[in-house]
Chain A
Amino acid sequence: MELLKRSFFGGKAAKIQFFAIIIAIVVLFFVPNFGSAYLPLFLAWVITYAVMSLAWTLFSGKTGYVSLASAAFYGTGMYVQAALGSNLPIVVSMIIAAAASFGVAFGIGLVTLRLRGVYFTIFTFGLSLFLNKFIHWYEVKFFHTKGHMVLAYDNLTVYYCVLVVFAIFLLVVIPMNKSRFGLALDCIGQNEDSAQHVGVNTTMTKVLAFAVSAAPVGAVGAAMATTIGYVDPDIAFKLLASFMPVLMAIFGGTHSVYGPIVGAIVFYSLQDYLLRELPGAYMIIFGCVMVAVILLMPKGIFGVIDTIIARRKRGFDGEVIGDV
Chain B
Amino acid sequence: MSDLNEILLEEEAAADCGCDEKSTFVPDADAVIVGTNLTKRFGGMTAVDCVDFELREGEILGLIGPNGAGKSTLFNLVSGFLPIDVGTITFNGVKISGLNPDRICHLGLGRTFQAAKNFPDMNIFDNIRIGALFGIKGKSYEQADIETEEIIKFVGLEKYLKMAVPDLPLAIQKQLEVARALATKPTVIMLDELMAGLNPAEVDEAMALVRKIRSGGITVLMIEHVMKAIMAICDRIIVLHHGRLIAEGTPDEIANNPEVIEIYLGGEA
Contacts and interface: CB of A to CB of B under 8 A. Distances in A.
Given A191-B117, A322-B163, A197 B122 contact: no
Interface string B99-131: 011100110001101000111111000000011
B136 interface: yes
Nearest to A202: B102
A194 B113 contact: yes
For A193, A200, A322, the residue with the greatest tally of chain B CB atoms inside 10 Å of its CB is A322
A197 B81 contact: yes
A104 B180 CA distance: 36
Contact of A190 (B105, B111, B121, B183): B121
Given A191-B118, A323-B160, A199 B113 contact: no
A187 B162 CA distance: 20
A198 interface: yes
B130 A197 contact: no
Contacts of A322: 159-160, 162-163, 167-168
A186 B122 contact: yes
B169 interface: yes
Interface in A195-213: 195-203
A183 B130 CA distance: 8
Nearest to B190: A197
A202 B130 CA distance: 13
A199 B106 contact: yes
Interface residues of B, number: 35
For A180, A184, A194, the residue with the greatest tally of chain B CB atoms inside 10 Å of its CB is A194
Main secondary structure of the interface of A (DSSP, over half): helix
Contacts of B184: 198-199
Given A186-B122, A190-B121, A201 B102 contact: yes
A291 interface: no
B130 A320 contact: no
A322 B160 CA distance: 6
A200 B163 contact: no
B135 A198 contact: yes
A268 B92 CA distance: 59
Interface in B128-182: 130-131, 133-137, 159-160, 162-163, 167-169, 177, 180-181
Contacts of B134: 180, 184, 187, 195, 198-200
Contacts of A295: none
Contacts, number: 81
B79 interface: yes
B111 to A, nearest CB: 6
A284 interface: no
**Size category of the binding interface on chain A:** 20 to 34
A196 B106 CA distance: 11
A324 interface: yes
B59 to A, nearest CB: 22
A190 B134 CA distance: 16
A98 to B, nearest CB: 29
A180 B133 contact: yes
Contacts of B136: 199
Given A197-B111, A199-B134, A320-B163, A187 B102 contact: no
Given A180-B133, A323-B159, A323-B160, A191 B102 contact: no
Given A187-B134, A198-B183, 19 more contacts: A180-B133, A186-B119, A187-B119, A190-B119, A193-B81, A195-B119, A195-B130, A197-B79, A197-B101, A198-B105, A199-B106, A200-B102, A200-B130, A200-B134, A202-B102, A320-B162, A320-B163, A322-B159, A323-B159
Interface of A: 180, 183-184, 186-187, 190-191, 193-203, 320, 322-324
Interface of B: 79, 81, 100-102, 105-106, 110-111, 113, 117-122, 130-131, 133-137, 159-160, 162-163, 167-169, 177, 180-181, 183-184
9 contacts: A190-B120, A190-B122, A194-B118, A197-B79, A197-B101, A198-B134, A199-B134, A201-B100, A320-B162
